Amino acid sequence: MKDYKREIASRVASLEAVSSAGLGEQDVYDIIEAPQDTGLGDYAFPCFRLAKALKKAPPAIAAEAAEALAAPADLPHAPAAFRARATGAYLNFFIDRAAYCADVVQEAIVQGARYGSSGIGMGRRAIVEYSSPNIAKPFHIGHIRSTVIGSAIGNILGFLGYEVVRINHLGDYGTQFGKLIVAYRRFGSREEVEASPITALLKYYVEFHKRAEQDPSLNEEARLAFAALERGEEEERALWEWFREESLKEFTVVYELMGIRFDSFAGESFYSDKMAHVVGELEQDGLLESSEGAKIVDLDAYGLGKALITKSDGSTLYITRDIAAAVYRKEHYGFYKNIYVVASQQDLHFRQWIKILELMGRDWASDCVHVPFGLVRLEDGAMSTRTGNVVFLEDVLTQAIEKTKAVIEEKGVVTDNADEAARQIGIGAVIFQELHNNRIKDYVFNWDKVLNFEGETGPYVQYGHARAASVLRKAAEKGIDTSPGALAGIRDFSAGASDAAFALARLIGGLPAAVSEAGEKYEPSLITRHVTDIAQAFSVFYHDEPILSDEGDSRLVKLALTAAAKTAIQNGLALLGVSAPERM
């Protein structure tokens, strides 16, 4: 598709006044904006940055530039696309609406499911680590952020041409397993675990901490149990493997409900035989220091404190395993980017081990990227596995589906499969709500908010897609050819010059840029908000413009715009991991 903004930037950059101020084409491109009031223009170039260099007032610069652009020029594009007008300190541009609509609609329809994508990734490999729950602990609402943000980032990067490797770095190692082994031996039962694995194991974990407050020797017993596990002792390892297997069964139920997938479940334990080499290399490089029997890397010179590598008993920590994992991934996958979708509270941890990789001479350390996100809290305080104060994610998803099913039955919604529609809409509502705000923001979990389907929600956007699908179905029932070939072949888009049609086309045309920016910033909410805007614009278009009751070329143009909107919404939702039902 023709990049109208780029062509305008090229023309503006060619003006003597602009070049003499030291602005190149990319500078101009970055400055150009879209006016809130479309009556002022479709694009605007503010002239404030030229004032100092030219020693003139911005309004005078804008007026002279508009006059210069009105002069005849040998340009390979329609003059109407560059009709310029000065308004105060702004140089405003009006483009040919019909030509723009034709470009957008034809590209969206022809590209179909690939509309909005690009090859910017060039097949380079990007690892995305996300979800990563702890084995033997509940998969609670706090885990949803890493899970859906990471999944969406993986979708976006894949759409941009990267080869994505999705890793679930399970928390299946560490001192908590020593605690769990001790708890199970003292007051657990196999029958109880097999009946309800996570519920039973959580109960044991909570009970362990209650008893440890009265009997601190339990912590030492747990430490010794984990040390035995690290040594590969048969009994401890058998219990650990059983806890892991039973936990994964329950995790899989949630992943299947949400449509989440992974290429690898290699967790912390996978690197247990690779950590000795890392510790040895740190020792050889002179980076390790002894501290009360433990081994540390002193990072005070970098403002990062002291990083504990091994405890006094020789057992390893998260940071040791993460260094080993990064080294393995580089050697095994040869990644271009190694992305970690982990809560912001772990920022120091990531800064420490990435700095250690740098000190180890790994020049690819800067390709390891921590993508932080804000925390989820309950209305009565922070979640805590130790106290059992959690909201199970499966319960949230189940309730969302049940509520949706009730609404479908109450309103008599016609659908091919009510259960599947309830799953798509209910799960979509939860995922969309999670991805609607900037990922770095903390928020308080509230049942009413999560299960609210009104306003800027997933169901609202899904309904926009279903409405567009309905329009196209009804048109086909009238014998109108709505195939991609027929709609993409329309040449006269003068009927797409109305305010509602052009506003919708502008947003559809903006999807590729939104996807690209979301990939660059690892920020799925940019797509969530953009696809919401498209759905809202389509709603206005649907109400303002007669579509099926229209006739001739005008009707075809509106149907083509409807098809383009449907494609854009569907593609945007797919990147978020949300289904796009054909009927609602």
Of the chain, the percentage scoring pLDDT greater than 70 comes to 95
| Residue among 86, 3, 4, 100 nearest 45 (CA) | 86
Q: What six digits make up the tokens of 498?
A: 């109305």
Q: If you average pLDDT over residues 1-24, what whole number do you get?
A: 90
| CA dist., res. 58 & res. 60, Å (int) | 5
Q: Measuring CA to CA, how many Å separate 30 from each of 8, 25, 34, 131, 510?
A: 12, 9, 11, 35, 15
Question: What is the dotted CATH code of the domain comprising 4-95?
Answer: 3.30.1360.70
- Catalytic residue check, 137: yes
**535-555 residue pLDDT tens:** 999 999 999 999 999 888 899
Range name among 50-59, 258-267, 496-505 with the lowest pLDDT average: 496-505
pLDDT of 449 reads: 74
Report the C-alpha gap between 173 and 270 in whole angstroms: 9
pTM of the model: 0.90
The span from the CA of 182 to the CA of 461, in Å, is 50
Q: Which of 137, 179, 337, 558 is catalytic?
A: 137
Assigned CATH class of 125-271+326-378: alpha beta
Say how far apart CA 179 and CA 185 lie, in whole Å. 10
Tokens read off for 576: 């978020």
Active-site pick, 5, 140, 337, 530: 140
Enumerate the β-bridge partners of residue 291: 294
With 90 as the cut, is the pLDDT of residue 147 above it?
yes
Q: Tokens in use for 268?
A: 């912390």
Our answer to whether residue 140 is catalytic in this structure is yes
Q: Is 143 a catalytic residue?
A: yes
Helix (H) and strand (E) counts in the chain: 24, 12
561 vs 442, more confident: 561
Domain ranges of the chain: 4-95, 125-271+326-378, 393-576
What percentage of residues in the chain have a pLDDT greater than 90?
70
Convert the pLDDT of each residue in 191-223 to its tens digit: 999 888 888 998 999 899 999 999 999 999 999
What is the CATH number that goes with domain 393-576? Answer: 1.10.730.10
The beta strands (E) that lie in 121-239 are given as 125-129, 163-167
User: For residue 452, which of 473, 475, 429, 472 has the smallest C-alpha distance?
Assistant: 429
Cα separation, 504 vs 111, whole angstroms: 18
Confidence of residue 388 (pLDDT cuts 50, 70, 90): low
Q: Which of 5, 143, 465, 558 is catalytic?
A: 143
Is pLDDT at 187 greater than 80 in this prediction? yes
* pLDDT (0 to 100) of residue 13: 94
- Measured CA to CA, the distance from residue 34 to residue 495 in angstroms comes to 23
Distance separating alpha carbons of residues 251 and 228, to the nearest angstrom: 27
Q: How far apart are CA 358 and CA 68, in angstroms?
A: 53
Are residues 415 and 501 in contact, defined by beta-carbon separation less than 8 angstroms?
no
* pLDDT recorded at residue 384: 55
Question: What confidence score (pLDDT) does residue 176 get?
Answer: 86
Q: Confidence band (pLDDT; 50, 70, 90) for 314? A: confident
Among candidates 536, 560, 542, 543, which has minimal Cα distance to 472?
560
Q: Is the pLDDT of residue 74 over 70?
A: no
Structure tokens at 310: 């091994």
Helix ranges restricted to H, 292-392: 318-333, 347-359
Q: What are the pLDDT digits (tens) for 275-303?
A: 899 999 999 999 999 998 899 999 999 99
Calculate ∠ Cα 579-126-256, nearest 5°: 35
